[in-house]
């Protein structure tokens, strides 16, 4: 059934429920000298390139490939439209490897037709911190689909990860592959219900008028929590401590240090927004929330071309209730003109989604580990990975 995935060191469907298999690595590292030194063969018309995402021209080529060929919803109404600034941020975290940003070009025309990336990350699984590659942005041009190019791309990124002496990976997909460590549900909170309905992102509820719908989703003009403010560079140590302590409770979570927090969580305009609560009395940092900006192209609408979406990222509550904190996040997202606020049911998100008027979407996100077996499928609430 899965001619490629059956050959890979991943949990297989036939082994689901077999708790006699141990947790941890499926295969052992091989000596680096035994890692294949040459790239995998591509069909003759194509060639590998390593993409320099620091170059504006390269960034534009990748942007154009993804804008026209990346992930769509099941009815092909919307397509993710990652910005160049976002790609630059997502692909150059601390310790990134240029060799893990892989493109495929047509030899003659030099046109970029496929892409896959990895970035390094330390991920804790129960008590073990494992250095992994986070694989993302796998994309094959629409005209080259179903030609088994994806398995070659995946083998090539695997080879380049192995060359750095890294033997595990984490990735997410909207499709079911062998085999998810967890399956999460997307939830959506309307901020601009009229536009969402006009473009077919959502529908007018039963016995609802447009005016009643607009009123239902109305939010205050300013945040309510005293001491709620934007995160600043000097907050990095306090946010790192707060977040590290919070993430201990989850089965799978990133192991962030201050450099990671600086990169992934310091606000970057039109890419990532982070807010925290500084106690007006003690000046302690007690709570934190963040979201990233990922618009989608609206395919074939006369009036609108982009849907401005915020995606919940990492949130930590110790003093302010998570409900109030996330309500403040919705308020700032609305002030920043987002049309919708999206969240997965990961971490403690399940505790506020319904009350804050999020509704379940038609999409699911499956989480995977490469070369790491778990005995049981995890609940979404046991997971603290947010794939960007
Ligand atoms: S998820 C986002 C994926 N991108 C999109 O959905 C964009 C739109 N779609 C496309 O561009 C193409 O449809 C893609 C497949 C490129 C997805 N992850 O070439 P094919 C398997 C993994 O004929 P195409 C993200 O970026 C499929 O089951 N495998 O198919 C994370 C089949 O194998 P098998 C996938 O449609 C990526 C084979 O590919 C996916 O032309 C993580 C068919 O190949 C998918 N999303 O191209 C990658 N979709 O026969 C894995 C299909 O066995 C990383 N397939 O069923 C693994 C870790 C590697 C590093 C390890 C380090 C140690
Ligand atoms: O955005 C998604 N679905 C929307 C739009 C559906 C359009 C028709 N298919 C949706 N809208 C309903 C919102 C409504 C608002 C009021 C309350 C009730 C709900 O459901 C979905 C997620 O739900 N998104 C996708 O399908 C995009 C792909 C998701 C998989 C991503 C995999 C990428 C992995 C890379 O690492």
pLDDT value at 330 more than 90: yes
167 shares its domain with 192: no
Ligand closest to 152 (CA) is: 1
95 shares its domain with 195: no
E-assigned strand segments in 141-271: 169-173, 182-190, 228-230, 252-254
Helices (H) and strands (E) in the chain, counts: 8, 17
The per-residue pLDDT for 270 is 98
Out of 77, 116, 201, give the residue to mutate to test ligand 2, the one with the largest number of ligand atoms within 8 Å of its CB: 201
Q: Which of 102, 137, 172 is the last residue of a domain?
A: 172
Over residues 105-148, the pLDDT tens digits come to 999 999 999 999 999 999 999 999 999 999 999 999 999 999 99
Check if 370 has its Cβ closer than 6 Å to any atom of ligand 1: yes
For the chain, the average pLDDT equals 98
Q: Which atom of ligand 1 is nearest to the CA of 157?
A: 60
Q: What is the CATH number of the domain that holds 341?
A: 3.40.630.170
75 shares its domain with 216: no
Region of 233 (left: φ > 0; alpha: ψ -120 to 50; beta: rest) is alpha
Residues having CB within 6 Å of any atom of ligand 2: 71, 73-75, 77, 136, 172-174, 186, 188, 190, 201-202, 359, 361-363, 365, 387
Out of 186, 193, 197, 346, give the residue to mutate to test ligand 2, the one with the largest number of ligand atoms within 8 Å of its CB: 186
Over residues 220-261, the pLDDT tens digits come to 999 999 999 999 999 999 999 999 999 999 999 999 999 999
The per-residue pLDDT for 101 is 98
157 shares its domain with 223: no
The per-residue pLDDT for 214 is 98
* Count of domains observed in the chain: 2
CA 192 to chain centre: 23
CB hemisphere CA count around 134 (13 angstroms): 19
Over residues 46-55, the pLDDT tens digits come to 999 999 999 9
CA 8 – ligand 2 centroid, Å = 29
75 shares its domain with 205: no
196 shares its domain with 284: yes
What is the distance between the alpha carbons of residues 32 and 9, in angstroms, rounded to a whole number? 18
Domain extent at residue 329: 183-382
Q: Which of 122, 146, 172 is the last residue of a domain?
A: 172
- Those residues with Cβ within 8 angstroms of residue 129's Cβ, 6 or more apart along the chain or in another chain: 122, 123, 255
């Amino acid at each position: 059934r899965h001619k490629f995935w059956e050959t890979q060191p991943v949990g297989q469907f036939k082994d689901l429920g077999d708790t006699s298999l141990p947790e941890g690595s499926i295969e052992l590292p091989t000596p680096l000298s035994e890692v294949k030194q040459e790239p995998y063969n591509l069909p003759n018309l194509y060639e590998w390139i390593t993409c320099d995402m620091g170059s504006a021209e390269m960034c534009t080529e990748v942007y154009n490939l993804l804008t026209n060929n990346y992930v769509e919803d099941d009815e092909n109404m919307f397509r993710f439209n990652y910005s160049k600034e976002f790609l630059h941020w997502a692909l150059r975290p601390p310790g990134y490897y240029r060799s893990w940003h892989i493109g495929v070009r047509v030899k003659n025309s030099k046109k970029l037709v496929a892409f896959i990336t990895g970035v390094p990350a330390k991920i804790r699984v129960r008590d073990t911190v494992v250095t992994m590659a986070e694989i993302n942005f796998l994309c094959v041009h629409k005209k080259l689909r179903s030609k088994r190019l994806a398995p070659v791309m995946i083998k090539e990124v695997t080879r380049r990860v192995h060359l750095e002496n890294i033997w595990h990976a984490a990735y997410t997909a909207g499709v079911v592959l062998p085999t998810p460590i967890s399956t999460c549900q997307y939830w959506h909170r309307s901020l601009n219900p009229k536009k969402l309905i006009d473009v077919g992102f959502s529908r007018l509820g039963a016995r609802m008028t447009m005016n009643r719908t607009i009123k239902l989703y109305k939010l205050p003009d300013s945040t309510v929590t005293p001491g709620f403010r934007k995160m600043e560079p000097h907050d990095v140590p306090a946010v790192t401590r707060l977040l590290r302590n919070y993430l201990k409770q989850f089965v799978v979570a990133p192991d962030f240090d201050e450099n990671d927090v600086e990169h992934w969580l310091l606000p970057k305009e039109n890419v990532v927004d982070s807010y925290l609560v500084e106690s007006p009395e003690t000046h302690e940092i007690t709570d934190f929330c963040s979201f990233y900006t990922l618009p989608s192209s609206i395919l074939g609408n006369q009036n609108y071309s982009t849907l401005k979406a915020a995606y919940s990222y990492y949130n930590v509550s110790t003093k302010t209730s998570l409900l109030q904190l996330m309500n403040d996040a919705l308020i700032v997202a609305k002030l920043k003109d987002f049309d919708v606020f999206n969240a997965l049911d990961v971490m403690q998100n399940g505790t506020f989604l319904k009350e804050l008027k999020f509704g379940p979407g038609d999409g699911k996100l499956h989480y995977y580990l490469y070369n790491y077996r778990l005995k049981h499928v995890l609940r979404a609430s046991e997971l603290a990975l947010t794939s960007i």
